[in-house]
Amino acid sequence: MIDTHSHILAGIDDGAETMEETKQLLDKALEEGLTGIIATPHAYHPNYSTNVTILRHQLAVTKDYITEQNLPIEVYSGNECRLSDKLPEQLKAGQALPLADSRYVLLELPSSGVPAYTVPIIQQLIADNWVPIIAHAERNQGIIEKPERLEKLLLHGALAQVTSGSIVGSFGKAIQKSAFTLLDANLIHVYGSDVHNMSKRPFLFKEGLAVLEKKKHHELIEILLSNNECIIHDKPMTILEPLKSQKGKWWNIFL
């Protein structure tokens, strides 16, 4: 299994602070059944702007440790790229990194909403042969209030990611409800942990899958995990057609 969203590289952003913590997270990842983790430190976030040179150094240090310890896990490069009109240029220049050297780009929106310039940036990324994946879509306040905002982005070519903690309920019931609203509507394509540390922001990878299993989302689990694998192999994903709300409230707006 592949984790598509993590902050495990030491001393880069608000994730692991030391290499010792990185090692602990790798041990926990193995307990979670993970075989691969895409490291996605923040890029061009208002509070954290990762230097790619430092990122690659910390990635190399982590890979060396994995090799020395003969751990059955791989760590891949990436960024959680903040929405910006400069992002296409930053990706082209190698100043921001796609996921695992693929065409997929993890795109972070401001948590407060979906800016009006989001669609033009998505269109430019796609024109440049990138595929943007909206990070933790269920935690965006604008999408929580109006899920059709996410569907609009998907109709312009974006994909969307859900995080395990949201499914488990660690961010609260409103975000958990948002996660299942999007999952039940086939508006989510990728699954990740967004792990930061061992205490306040742990993996919860298996726990999230267990909740989905309990709710009988067996096919969805297979698709999400398969799509995660598609990222590291740079292959097309399985995309299900969005479903209409059983309450008939909002899907017909964009279909």
Residue ranges per domain, the chain? Answer: 2-253
pTM (global) more than 0.85:
yes
Q: If you classify domain 2-253 with CATH, what class do you get? A: alpha beta
Amino acid identity at 201: R
Per-residue pLDDT of the chain (255 residues; tens, 9 = 90+): 999 999 999 999 999 999 999 999 999 999 999 999 999 999 988 887 778 999 999 999 999 999 999 999 999 999 999 999 999 999 999 999 999 999 999 999 999 999 999 999 999 999 999 999 999 999 999 999 999 999 999 999 999 999 999 999 999 999 999 999 999 999 999 999 999 999 889 999 999 999 999 999 999 999 999 999 999 999 999 998 887 654 444 443 333
Q: List the beta bridge partners of residue 3.
A: 37
> Which tokens in the block code for residue 128?
């440049």
pLDDT of residue 244: 62
One DSSP character per residue, the chain reads -EEEEE--STTSSSS--SHHHHHHHHHHHHHTT-SEEEE--EES-SS----HHHHHHHHHHHHHHHHHHT-S-EEE---EEEP-TTHHHHHHTTSS--GGGSSEEEEEPPTT---TTHHHHHHHHHHTT-EEEETTGGG-HHHHH-THHHHHHHHTT-EEEEEHHHHHTTT-HHHHHHHHHHHHTT---EEE--B--SSSS---HHHHHHHHHHTT-HHHHHHHHHHHHHHHTT-PPP-PPPPPPTT-SSGGGT-
* Dihedral angle computed from the Cα positions of residues 114, 119, 121 and 124, in that order, rounded to the nearest 10 degrees: 160
pLDDT of residue 5: 98
